[in-house]
Structure 1
Amino acid sequence: MDSHSHDSEKCEHTHSTCDYVSDQKLNEYLVNDDIIYDATQIFDALSDFTRFQILGALVNGEKSVTELQEMLSVSQSATSHQLRLLRDRGLVNAKRDGRKVIYSLADEHVTTLIRVGLAHAAHLLGH
């Protein structure tokens, strides 16, 4: 067994089922091409390092483009471009506050995706 294998009998993590769909719903979703397509678009957005960092930063609360740019040491235009893609994929919301645009995660599903993704990566790495 390599370090990236997962033996569910040895997993010590406790998982909440509140955000998971029932087997019946899962089977319905898996034959719905629109849902599958949107899910792949979400995971595609999550696969970019900078976008994942942006989402991770927003888990702790809303932030302006400038705050995100400074946290990530990425240019303003690159940050705005990634935020636009995340907004288009339904992962973040934007609201105007005077001259600033403030971003937040779209909902608790996004928070769960980030938390579970990080927990699984840490688990695979033995942390």
Structure 2
Amino acid sequence: MPATKLDIDDMQSAAAEACRLMKVLSNPDRLMLLCQLSQGEHNVGELEAALGITQPTLSQQLTVLRDEGLVLTRREGKHVFYSLDSPPAQAVIRTVYQQFCSR
């Protein structure tokens, strides 16, 4: 906990931002996508093969992640590459991995 006291408006803003991130992470497909992207950049085909998420669902969930500003895209020829672009999401993914995946 920080030593300084937050003003109520700052607390409300921070809580709203945290809730928005947690809502995005509450979907298992999106959580798995972010876990995979925390390991580095991947194209759609790589994500589909690694996670077993079918193309329509994969595209839908990547759109949500992009709209929420959690991932960046880069086009190379016919391929679109995705990378994680959110330090808060990266920190949460690290914690989730430590608590649930490193057993």
Q: Partner residue of 1:114?
A: 93
Residue number among 45, 48, 65 corresponding to 2:24 in the alignment: 45
| Aligned counterparts of 2:58 and 2:8: Cα–Cα separation in 1 | 33
Please list every run of at least 4 consecutive aligned residues from structure 1 whose deviation after the TM superposition is greater than 6 angstroms: none
Deviations 1:63-116 (A, max 9, x none): 011111111111111101101111112211111112211100004332211011
Change in CA separation of 1:119 and 1:35 when aligned onto 2, cut-off 3 Å: same
Structure 2: how far apart are the matches of 1:57 and 1:114? 10
Q: Distance in 2 between matches of 1:71 and 1:63?
A: 10
Max Rg structure: 1
Q: How high is the TM-score relative to the length of structure 1?
A: 0.68
Higher helix share: 2
TM-score, normalised to structure 2, is 0.82
The size of the alignment, in residue pairs, is: 103
How many angstroms does 1:117 deviate by?
Answer: 2.0
TM-superposed deviation, 1:39: 1.6
For 1:105 and 1:97, the matched residues in 2 are separated by 17
Residue 30 of structure 2 aligns with an amino acid whose one-letter code is: R
Give the alignment of 1:1-127 within 5 angstroms.
Answer: 22-24=2-4, 27-28=6-7, 31-121=10-100, 127=103
1:30 and 1:23, CA in 2 relative to 1: closer, same or farther beyond 3 A? farther
> Tell me, which stretches of 5 or more residues in structure 1 are unaligned?
1-20
